[in-house]
Amino acid sequence: MAKRTDLHNEINGNVTGPVVQANTIHQIVLSAPPPSSTRIPRQLPPALRDFAGRTEQLASLDTLLDAHVRNDSAGMPLAVLDGTAGVGKTALAVQWAHRVQHHFTDGTLYADLRGYGPNAPLASALVLAAFLGDLGVSEDRIPAEMDTQTALYRSVLAARRVLVLLDNAGSAEQVRPLLPGAPGCLVLVTSRASLTGLAVAEAATPLSVDLFTKAEAEDLVRGIIGGNRVEAEATAVVELIRVCARLPLAVRVAATRIAMRPHITVADVVEDIICEEDRLDALSSGGDDRSAVRTVFDWSYTQLPAEQALLFRRLGLHPGPEFSVEAAAVLASITPARAYRLLEVLTAIHLVEPVARRRYRCHDLLHTYAAHRAKLDDSAEDRQAAVTAVITWYARTAQTADRLVFPGLAALDIALPPVGVEVLLADRAQSLSWLDLELTNLGAALRAACRLQLAEAALCCAEAARFLTFRHRALWPVRVDMHSQGISTAQNAGNRLAAASMFTLRANANFDLGRLAEAEADYRSELALGEELGNPRRQYSALVGLGQVRQSQERLPEALACFRQALPFARQVGDPRPEAVVECNLSAVSVQLGQFHHALAHAERELWLRQQAGDQVGEAYALYGAAVATQGLGGHGKAIALAEEAVELFSQLIGTEKYRATTLAMAATSAEHLGHLHRAHRLLREAAALLEGFDKAQAEVLTVRAAVLESRLPDGP
């Protein structure tokens, strides 16, 4: 088998089939096509129906756009909306973007950078990777390094007209890699900070978003409760705006409450809020805007029935920026059906907001306030129980998903207790979907578990991060980070077996990223722990990893020695799969050394072991390995026959298109050697067609090769 530099720990698209690896996750990669590159992204959140005010800022943005339309060669316009929390920056940005996005014919990109909130700011590399995918770049072309991502992003947008809205930025450094630079694009940023660095270095136009004027606040109240009530109680409306400190979020919360209670007057509500302010003087001391907002939130909160109030304050204990119905149910110890009904009520009064079907988030201010109410109204024991339950729920569900994604791989022997709510994951595809959706929350749950010394939950979250093997390279540094936290957790808990497993996972991630020195150090740490524990699985795994590092370094005799050293440990595991893994690697390195007889013997042994393990993907790949070795021995007819067996088996397995294409291309080489040029040409065209959807570079190579061969075709079939 020729050297397989194209085999990495990577799967493109949504993978629904099984996976086989040469070590843990290195050799077989199964891919499905990514979405079409012809789509135009339109990602803006919904605009508010009752948006009010901001005439001055909207006019300034219109002026910026008009100048850009008249002369888009003058450079890329960049505007920064800054202002305090709850002042309505996002609402303003989204409202304007909806109005003007028709000018940007190639799409509208949106990202919440989470610069301020309960979770860590979103890494720019993750946003770049998502944007590139949304712009039609296939996952196999998205690099892991942020500088390279930025260069590709700017190249893709160089001739396009795209509006980019970067919401809730934490710093200029977070924003800069996300700036297209193309004169046809326009970027709008919102932040609590002024981001003066962008004004200095990138010529950004700063626009401050201040508190509402009295007229703007009145317009918002009018839009929510109706003009008749505003006219009937004009004085009370003025007082309502005062007690809300003219902060749009507070005005909206209070006015929505009034709209939902037509039997009471605005004056009654104002009196209630003032009484709340007097009663809760600890929250309102100082008379600043934040205190006034707290007062409005307190008033709204105290109007909630007990069950709604409990759910709302427990949401403040959630570790991540958004949450599902099931997570909310766990926090409040209620059923998902009940949680859904309560969340819809909280949505109606603007204490939470929907982000997708059965998913919600709290505004940063409201999340902080909810946590504050939990501290006031719940005992320390109840808060601890709720946080432990939701972290355990994430860890337990992640563990279930991990087992479905990696049914053949060793896993940590951890039994987490049930918490009353289960997510039903039927198969591998559903598991990958859940892990994708909850990645940010898994990271937040992992950090919280480490902080609270919930070692078993932390280890399950850290282990489940290996699913990112099947996602684009930009996410692989997240694997490294989460596995590193798993290593620290295991070491702090004195769990050497778990530490060895985590070293393996981090080594694999480093290997995939090309960080061979770091990968080798981790494999050696795993090997040392395996020797201390007398654990053959950890010893075999580490030695195979070290062998693959040597193979990548072209130190083939040393690689061969590592694989041979791993073989007896693999046999001690008591499962045919580890031995098959070693045989696969021995076959591959033997091909590189030109030892084709040895390569064939190892591939045939691997084939038998894969069959014993019931591993169909591994069986197909072993047939491919045998075909490559046979081809090296000059047995081209036999090589084609073996390749045909592999192709037939791959064709029955979802997600193996890339490896079916590789096998077809190999068979084409043997067909060409035999003088069967028409057959070779057909095989190359078929292989190129399979790769077109997700590996365009390799598809182009095969297409060129087919074209060259076509020029040599004799007349007739």
Q: What is the pLDDT of residue 21?
A: 41
The dihedral built from the CA positions of residue 479, 485, 488 and 490, taken in this order, carries a sign that is negative
- Residue 289: pLDDT over 60: no
Query: Each residue of 134-191: pLDDT tens digit?
Result: 998 877 788 888 888 999 999 999 889 999 999 999 899 999 999 998 888 999 999 9
Name residues whose C-beta falls within 8 Å of residue 58's C-beta, 6 or more positions apart in sequence. 92, 95, 96
Residue 8 is predicted with a pLDDT of 33
φ, ψ dihedrals at 228, nearest 5°: -60, -45
What percent of the chain shows pLDDT beyond 90? 59
Distance in angstroms (rounded) separating the CA atoms of residues 542 and 562: 9
Give the pLDDT confidence of 384-394 residue by residue, as tens digits: 999 999 999 99
Pairing verdict, β 163-169 and 108-112: parallel
pLDDT at 74: 63
Whole-angstrom CA distances from 124 to 154, 183, 462 are 14, 21, 22
32: helix, strand or coil: coil
pLDDT of 493-542, one tens digit each?
999 999 999 999 999 999 999 999 999 999 999 999 999 999 999 999 99
Which of 16-30, 42-56, 400-414, 676-690 shows the lowest per-residue confidence on average (mean pLDDT)? 16-30
Q: Residue 370 pLDDT > 80, yes or no?
A: yes
Beta-ladder partners of 205: 79
Angstrom distance (rounded) from CA 588 to CA 297: 65
Q: What is the pLDDT of residues 649-695, one digit of tens each?
A: 989 877 688 889 999 999 999 999 999 999 999 999 999 998 886 67
Rounded Cα distance between 285 and 282, Å, is 6
Write down the pLDDT at residue 184: 87
Closest CA to 17 of 497, 544, 714, 660: 660
Question: In the prediction, which pLDDT does 10 show?
Answer: 33
What pLDDT is recorded for position 521?
97
Assess contact for 609 and 49: CB atoms under 8 A: no
Name the CA dihedral angle for 672, 676, 678, 684, rounded to a multiple of 10 degrees.
-30
Q: 203 by DSSP, 3-state: which?
A: coil
Computed over every residue of the chain, the mean pLDDT equals 87
| pLDDT tens readout for residues 528-583 | 999 999 999 999 999 999 999 999 999 999 999 999 999 999 999 988 999 999 99
**Position 282 confidence tier, pLDDT thresholds 50, 70, 90:** very low
What is d(CA 424, CA 431) in angstroms, rounded to the nearest whole number? 9
What mean pLDDT comes out for the span 233-242?
90
Is 252 in contact with 270 (CB distance < 8 Å)? no
Under the banding of pLDDT at 50, 70 and 90, the label for residue 278 is: low
User: Measured in whole angstroms, how far is the alpha carbon of residue 713 from the centre of its chain?
Assistant: 48
The pTM score is 0.79
| Low-confidence winner among 25-29, 365-369, 545-549, 552-556 (lowest mean pLDDT) | 25-29
